């Protein structure tokens, strides 16, 4: 059976899953989304993802025409119908089809799309050897222009930085905020380890508050690794003992070089290795609770 895609209450074969070219999600990037993962049939931190989706929607004055509990059921059913246990789930809510012109009041029927598919991982070698990344010259959106806390369909800010990374031969790129501080990567949050402490930019540094980020902070605390949410500069990254990135797609991935400077000895460090293995346990244990 072809992959079944959920669109606003119905399932369609992948090739027939279509929405209007007048949808403002397409015309203006007007909408919100979530990217989640399922492990052994359980979606990791599903409630947190759904809460963030509804908060993103609230921030852009988009009323999702479905309750949170029905949304949770729809995500679970989409996995079931496709017999997927380990999967990547993309949940999209668009403003809906309307007339040409920005006016969101001239749209109707926000569209809810749920895609559950196999996961496209980074090459496994990067989890062993670590990534080499660069700092992009494209800064993260100014929070007063479009808050990075909103996971909106308008990802051009991140894509511009991603292009810079790819052009430099890197799979990820660091984005600074409007104050020149480290914010995050194009689709991942960033952490460093310095003198045994785990440091990551705070929520107000112009970042998406990652669900994997929060899980790692909790995990570190439970392992008695001191954590601090604090503003970081590129210099802090260059002189870090360890560095890694977190995200639903990437999970926990080490970084061994930034802007052509090796991080410490250029090898994946012990705290990163520990958190990678503990995170793997956590995503499976969470489902058994
Ligand atoms: N920052 C940004 C800008 C992101 O887009 C994260 C941090 C990490 O957040 P989570 O909650 O995932 O730990 C993200 C997440 C995709 C995709 O399909 C993107 C993300 C996650 C999953 C899939 O491109 N970005």
Tens digits of per-residue pLDDT, 74-93?
Answer: 999 999 999 999 999 999 99
Spell out the long-range contacts of 255-258 with Cβ–Cβ below 8 A and sequence spacing 24 or more: 255/130, 255/131, 255/132, 255/133, 255/172, 255/190, 256/129, 256/130, 256/131, 256/132, 257/130, 257/131, 257/132, 257/133, 258/132, 258/133, 258/134, 258/135, 258/174, 258/234
Residue 92 · residue 154 · CB < 8 Å? no
Q: Is the pLDDT of residue 220 over 90?
A: yes
pTM of the complete model beyond 0.85: yes
Mean pLDDT confidence for 39-52: 97
- For atom 5 of ligand 1, the residue with the nearest CA is 187
pLDDT higher than 90, residue 236: yes
Task: Identify the H or E element spanning 11.
Answer: strand 10-13
How many C-beta atoms surround the C-beta of residue 241 within 10 A?
Answer: 17
pLDDT number for residue 289 = 61
Q: Is the CB of 188 under 6 A from ligand 1?
A: yes
Q: Which two tokens stand for residue 258?
A: 């930034």
> In this structure, what is the dihedral angle of CA atoms 11, 66, 54, 111, given to the nearest 10 degrees?
50
pLDDT in tens, 177-191: 999 999 999 999 999
Q: How far apart are CA 280 and CA 250, in angstroms?
A: 12
Q: What number does CATH give the domain 124-287? A: 3.20.10.10
Verify whether ligand 1 is closer than 6 Å to residue 35 (CB atom).
yes
Q: How far apart are CA 246 and CA 248, in angstroms?
A: 7
Q: Report yes or no: 137 and 118 within 8 Å, Cβ to Cβ.
A: no
Decide if pLDDT at 145 tops 90: yes
The verdict on whether 10 is a catalytic residue reads no
Q: Is any atom of ligand 1 closer than 6 Å to the C-beta of 248? A: yes
User: Ligand 1: does its nearest atom lie under 6 Å from the Cβ of 246?
Assistant: yes
The rounded distance, in Å, linking the Cα atoms of 200 and 246 is 11
Q: Which of 63-72, 111-120, 186-195, 199-208 has the lowest mean pLDDT?
A: 111-120
| pLDDT (average), residues 49-68 | 98
Q: Which two tokens stand for residue 237?
A: 């990254």
| pLDDT of res. 55 | 98
Q: Helix, strand, or coil here: 52?
A: helix
The Cα–Cα gap between 20 and 184 comes to: 33
Q: What is the CATH number of domain 4-117?
A: 3.30.470.10
Count CB neighbours of 4 within 10 A: 20
Query: For the chain, what are the domain ranges?
Result: 4-117, 124-287
Calculate how far, in angstroms, residue 204's C-alpha sits from the geometric centre of ligand 1. Answer: 17
Q: What phi and psi values does residue 220 have, to the nearest 5 degrees?
A: -60, -45
């Amino acid at each position: 059976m072809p992959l079944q895609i959920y669109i606003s209450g119905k399932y369609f074969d992948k090739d027939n899953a279509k929405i209007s070219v007048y949808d403002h999600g397409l015309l203006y990037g007007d909408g919100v989304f979530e990217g989640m993962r399922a492990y052994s049939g359980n979606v990791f931190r599903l409630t947190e993802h759904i809460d963030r989706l509804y908060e993103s929607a609230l921030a852009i004055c988009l009323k999702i025409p479905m309750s949170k509990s029905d949304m949770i059921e729809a995500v679970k059913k989409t996995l079931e119908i496709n017999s997927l246990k380990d999967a990547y789930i993309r949940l999209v809510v668009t403003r809906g089809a309307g007339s040409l012109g920005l006016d969101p009041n001239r749209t109707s029927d926000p569209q809810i799309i749920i895609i559950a598919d196999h996961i496209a991982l980074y090459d496994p070698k990067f989890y062993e050897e670590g990534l080499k990344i660069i700092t992009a010259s494209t800064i993260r959106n100014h929070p007063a222009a479009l808050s990075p806390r909103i996971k909106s369909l308008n990802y051009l800010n991140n894509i511009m930085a991603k292009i810079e990374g790819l052009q430099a031969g890197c799979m990820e790129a660091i984005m600074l905020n409007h104050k020149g501080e480290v914010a995050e990567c194009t689709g991942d949050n960033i952490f460093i380890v310095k003198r045994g402490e785990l440091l990551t930019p705070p929520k107000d540094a112009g970042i998406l508050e990652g669900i994997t980020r929060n899980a790692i902070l909790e995990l570190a605390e439970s392992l008695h690794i001191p954590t601090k949410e604090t503003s970081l500069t590129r210099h802090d990254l260059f002189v870090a003992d360890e560095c890694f990135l977190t995200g639903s797609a990437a999970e926990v991935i080490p970084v061994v070089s930034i802007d052509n400077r090796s991080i410490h000895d250029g090898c994946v460090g012990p705290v990163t290795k520990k958190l990678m293995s503990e995170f793997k346990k956590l995503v499976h244990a969470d489902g058994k609770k």
